[in-house]
Amino acid sequence: MCGIVAYVGNKPCQQLLLEGLKRLEYRGYDSAGIAVLEKGKLRVCKSIGRVQNLEDKLEENGGLSGNLGMAHTRWATHGGVTDINAHPHIDDKVGIALIHNGIIENYASLKTYLEEKGHTFKSQTDTEVLAMLIGELYEGDLERAVQAALREVTGAYSIAVICEKEPNVLVVARKGSPLIVGIGNGEYFVASDASAIVSHTATAFTLDDYNVVKITPEGFHTSTIHNVPVTPRIEQLEIELQEIELGGYQHFMRKEIYEQPKALRNCLRGRIDVKEGRVILGGLAGLAKELTKLRRVVLTAQGTALHAAMIGEYLLEDLAKLPAVAEYASEFRYRNPIIEDGTAVIAVSQSGETADTLAALREAKERGALSLGVVNAVGSSIPRETDAGVYLRVGPEIGVASTKAFVGQVCVLTLITLFLGRRRFMSTEHCSELLKALDSLPEKIEQVLTQDEAIRKVTEKYCDRENWLFLGRGYNYPTALEGALKLKEISYIHAEGMPAAEMKHGPIALISEGMPAVFIANRGRQYDKVMSNIQEVRARGGHVIAVATEGDHEIKRYAEDVLYVPDIAEPLSPMLTVVPLQLMAYHAAVIRGHDVDKPRNLAKSVTVE
């Protein structure tokens, strides 16, 4: 939820840390802060708002010098958005500074204990409690103090800690929140996301849960919180610098919408054999026999990933003839879910770190489910905890409002469905036909993108309206939910997505003169039903924006505006019909003057409940 970057080496670190923060700002932008050990003394600077505010404040105060430091960008959880609540937090005895991503669940009881010991708190955060606890337990060895403190902590964390008494030492640790250590030549880089350090090193290792790493310019030592030595697995980062730069686009969201054809080609490469009607998924190959015997699939996710999971539910039941259900991870984990023999749970997440989805996955595993992951971020928590899975391979997604990851998730769920369906009831011919259509999707998305300016003009007509409806049926009911979510996320327009038939069971009362109603009305099994729903909206003065199949001229009689997508097999249509909705949301946000990539109150990776 927040961004962490730290450095120890032989270079002045202020600009390096600020550069890393700017690359991590999509993880949180309520406030930012930096701490540097300068001639053995802690120097700290913090500011509410964007990283640029912190940079300006540093410049006004002459900057910081030093070769060991850390920085943080925050998405507020405990305590409001103030300079005092911003990270880093400092203990009141030793001279320890700490930055933290996650939540310390037992911070209140720890705070009471520390107050009884004479500590005085300045902030309302759980993070300051951890800084004070490390200071209380410090006896001349920062690594040991961090280990001891974390043994008392309940919750999730990734942390970086420095201390005036050990001016060449950086200690980092992780449980349930991502953290990586990049290795350079006599220098080390720490970050919560590879995007912050990829311009400096391509060699890194990911911390496992309960790992603690002590780092100096001379090397590093990895152990558990119980001081058991650990040997990390050093790997090459898969991310490339150009993937996380704007490259001429005004916003990352626009860039990522336009990257969708390339993203799908990467997702499909080497995974389909159209001629033989085969899907090749190396991540599932070892479980092929077990997967063939499945009796039920539960897909669990949050937000945009849940909408992809809902499409996965339709796919699995329609094409693989396999009972399936998509569940809010946040609800699934607190129910008493029935997991029978032959049940698989598929966790769907862009980041692989979504806290509720991880918790739901662990609950399902505890009850005996086969666990699978559909994730974009390589090396993240979900793929490390599942029995098997499939990566999206769509490249890093920086924009907070997910676009190409959604299309990638639907594509991978389609591949999994065909992988299973071919082993159950699906003929070679049917599978080959769908794979051929799937292979044509990137080119067809490119055709939709050529209508960008037309979509902008349609959006401009309605973007001053504060209430919208998004309606679809069958495979495109979840697409309607996704379209409404996108509009809400970045343009702050109230929008509701629902099955088109549900409208007349109450929400039709909301329709007033000129209210925009976006119908996904592509050719399919329920086309005539959708047309009837359109008539119901028109009769009450609503203005219909239809997403329709190319060549459907009849629909112009019933819709004020029509956006066309190429014809494609109905099970694959959400990957096309969502693109105009993404562009509508983008243009609405731009026209209304909002920060597209950093919508208020949102962060890219939700690593807390």
CA distance 33 to 289: 52
Contact yes or no for 383/391 (Cβ under 8 A): yes
Q: What kind and span of H or E run contains 18?
A: helix 14-24
Please, are residues 95 and 145 in contact by the beta-carbon 8 Å criterion? no
| CB of 136 closer than 8 Å to CB of 202 | no
Token couple for 276 = 């033989």
Structure tokens at 605: 């990776």
* CA–CA separation, 373 and 300 (whole Å): 10
Whole-angstrom Cα distance, residue 507 to residue 500? Answer: 10
Distance, C-alpha 254 to centroid of its chain: 17
Q: Which residues are catalytic?
A: 2, 604
Tell me the C-alpha distance between 229 and 587, whole Å. Answer: 53
For residue 94, CA distances in Å to 52, 160, 216 come to 30, 16, 20
Asked if residue 7 lies in contact with residue 70, where contact means CB atoms within 8 angstroms, the answer is yes
The contacts of residue 279 (CB under 8 Å, 6+ apart) are 271, 272, 273, 415, 418, 419, 422, 431, 435
Cα–Cα distance for residue pair 316/94, rounded to 1 Å: 58
Q: Identify the residue whose tokens are 């499945």.
A: 294
Query: Which tokens go with 15?
Result: 């600009």
